[in-house]
Amino acid sequence: MVRARARGFAIAAGLVLAASPAAANDFYAGKTVNFIVGTDVGGGFSIYARVLSRHLGRFIPGNPTVVMKNMPGAGGATASSYFYRIAPKDGTVIGSVAPNAILGRLLDGNVSQYDPAKFIYLAGAERGTRLCMTFEHSKTKTLADALKQRTVIGATSAGSPTREYAAMIKHATGAQFEIVSGYKGPPDLFLAMSRHEIDGVCGLDWTALKSQQPDWLRDRRLNLLVQASMEPHPELAKLGVPVPWPSIKNDLDRRAVEVMVGFEQAFGKSYLVPPETPADRVAILRKAFAAVLKDAEFLAEAEKVRIEITAQSGEEVQRVVESAYASSPEVIARLRKIVEP
C-alpha cells in the first residue's frame, strides 16, 4: 500500500508539473515563430526586426526558429488586422507595426478591423524621433524656409508615418508642404529625392536613417528641417535641428501634436502578440525580449548596423497605449484633422 501510494503521489506530481510553466517551455521546441513586420522591407521597423529575429530564438525555451516576414499595407493596418483576426493565438506569431497603426484606430474611431487596446504587448526596443528633411538640391534648407515657400514632400500611403507627419507639420506650423503620396516605401522615397522628383520627406526615424543613409548624413546631403520630439534629441540638437513647438502658435494644435509625438516616441519599435494568447506563453516571450535587448551579442550587432536600443517592458508599452486612448475628445478631433488620416 505504501508503494502504491508513493506511485500515486508521483503520478499526481507529474500531472501538476505537466501543467506548470515547464510544459509551456516545451511548447516551442521544434516550432517556428513568425516575426511579422507591417512595413516594407527597407524601413526602420524591418531593420530592427531583422536583427532581433537573428537572436531572439536563443532566449525562448526550446530554441524555436524565428522567421521574419513583411506584410506592408495601409500604414500597418493590414498587418494589424491579420494579427487581430487571423493569426494563430498560440504564441507562434509576433507582430511589429508602426505606432500610427495603433494610434490610427483612435483617430478614426473604427475598431471593427482590430482593437489596439486588446493586443498584448511584449516589449519596446527603441524610443523614436521622426524627422522632416529635404535633399541637397532643394531650396528649402530649414523649417523657416518651409514656412515661406512651396516644398514638395513625398509620402507613401494614407495613414503612414510619411503622410501623417508631413500633414501634421504642414497644418500645425504652417509649412507650405505640397504632399505627393503613392511611393512604395523609404527606398523609393530616397530614389525620388536623388532624382529631384521631390524636395524631401517627413516621418522617417532618426535611428533608422543613420542605418539607411549613413553616407548621405556623413556628406551632409540632407537638410534636417525639424525633429518631432517632446525634448530635443541630443544628437539632433548638436546638429542644430529644431523641435516644432516654437512654430506651433495654436494651443489646441500643440496639445494634439503632443499626443501624437509623445505616443510615437514612447511606443517606438514595439512588439505584440494577438489577443487571447495564453498567459504562460506571453510570460515566456516577454522574458525572452527582456533578455535579448540586453544581450551583448545582440547589442554588438545593433551597434554595427547603427540602430539605437532603448529597452521597454511589455507592461510599459501597454500603459502607453492605454494613456493615448484616454486623451480628450477635443484633442483627438483636432489631431484627426491635422494628420489627414
* pLDDT tens by residue, 182-228: 998 899 999 999 999 999 999 998 988 998 999 999 999 999 999 99
Lowest pLDDT segment from 11-20, 44-53, 273-282, 326-335: 11-20
Domain identity same for 62 and 123: yes
Domain identity same for 78 and 191: no
pLDDT at 110: 81
Count: domains in the chain: 2
Contact between 256 and 335 (Cβ < 8 Å): yes
Domain identity same for 106 and 141: no
Domain identity same for 110 and 144: no
pLDDT at 24: 64
Tell me if residue 222 falls in helix, strand or coil: strand
Q: Which residues are CB-neighbours of 63 under 8 A, at least 6 positions away?
A: 28, 29, 57
Domain identity same for 185 and 252: yes
Q: What is the mean pLDDT of residues 49-60?
A: 97
Q: What is the CATH number of the domain that holds 89?
A: 3.40.190.150
* Strand 177-180 to 151-154 pairing: parallel
Which one of 263, 297, 316 terminates a domain?
263
- The average confidence (pLDDT) of the chain is 91
Distance in angstroms (rounded) separating the CA atoms of residues 215 and 218: 5
- pLDDT-derived band at 293 (thresholds 50, 70, 90) equals very high
Does any domain span residue 152?
Answer: yes
Does any domain span residue 94?
Answer: yes
Q: What is the mean pLDDT of residues 293-314?
A: 95
Domain identity same for 201 and 134: yes
Domain identity same for 85 and 144: no
Domain identity same for 241 and 288: no
Distance in angstroms (rounded) separating the CA atoms of residues 91 and 24: 10
pLDDT at 22: 56
Contact between 288 and 311 (Cβ < 8 Å): no
Does any domain span residue 196?
Answer: yes
pLDDT at 21: 52
pLDDT at 23: 62
Domain identity same for 299 and 196: no
Q: How many CB atoms lie within 10 A of CB 120?
A: 20
Name the grid cell of 162.
510619411
More confidently predicted of 279 and 265: 279
Domain identity same for 119 and 141: no
pLDDT at 158: 79
Does any domain span residue 16?
Answer: no
* Strand 120-124 to 312-313 pairing: antiparallel
Asked if the model's pLDDT at residue 341 lies above 80, the reply is no
Instruction: Residue 47: give the domain boundaries.
Output: 23-127+266-339
Which one of 247, 263, 279 terminates a domain?
263
